[in-house]
Amino acid sequence: MIVFDLGCDNDHRFEGWFASSEDFERQQKENLLSCPLCGSLHINRLLTAARLNTGRAEAPAGEQAEPAAGAVQYANFDAARMLKLISHIVDNTDDVGKAFPEEARKIHYKESPERHIRGTASPREVDALRDEGIEIVALPLPGHLANKSH
């Protein structure tokens, strides 16, 4: 597994996990990559600082390697599983498009019936919603699912 630092044309930075460099290039070419903050499909690899290995690569025989304090453990969550999850979300939500911030507020303040929605919001709108206590999740939608109706 390879981790790349990625960025979109709106200067959002995030990580992507790939089986290989070729896997990244294939997904980029097929527009399967999108920014988790704004949904942009214009994704590029960013320069990454070199990694220096300052410790042992393996624990001595019979010893269990201890994870570093604060180390993050990730589950094996491959692209196929992510696509299945995203497809499920798309199939079970109403697309409200650019009206997302307004609709999320109406639902939060009980001015509209409770329902699951998805749509687009600017980083500023996302921050404002979160400041109001409205829980939202930025979700990368592949291009072929972005405009799918429920």
Whole-model pTM?
0.47
Average pLDDT over the chain, rounded to whole?
77
**For residue range 94-113, what is the model confidence (pLDDT) as tens digits?**
989 899 999 999 999 999 99
* Domain locations in the chain as residue ranges: 1-49, 85-146
100-108 helix and 123-131 helix, angle to the nearest 10 degrees? 10
**For residue range 20-73, what is the model confidence (pLDDT) as tens digits?**
888 888 998 988 898 888 888 899 888 754 444 444 444 445 444 444 444 444
pLDDT of residue 109: 94
> Cβ distance 43 to 30 under 8 Å?
no
**For residue range 64-91, what is the model confidence (pLDDT) as tens digits?**
444 444 444 445 556 677 778 778 888 8
Would you say residue 14 has pLDDT above 60? yes
Q: 141 pLDDT band (50/70/90 cuts)?
A: low
Q: Is 101 exposed, middle or buried (0-12, 13-18, 19+ CB in 10 A)?
A: buried
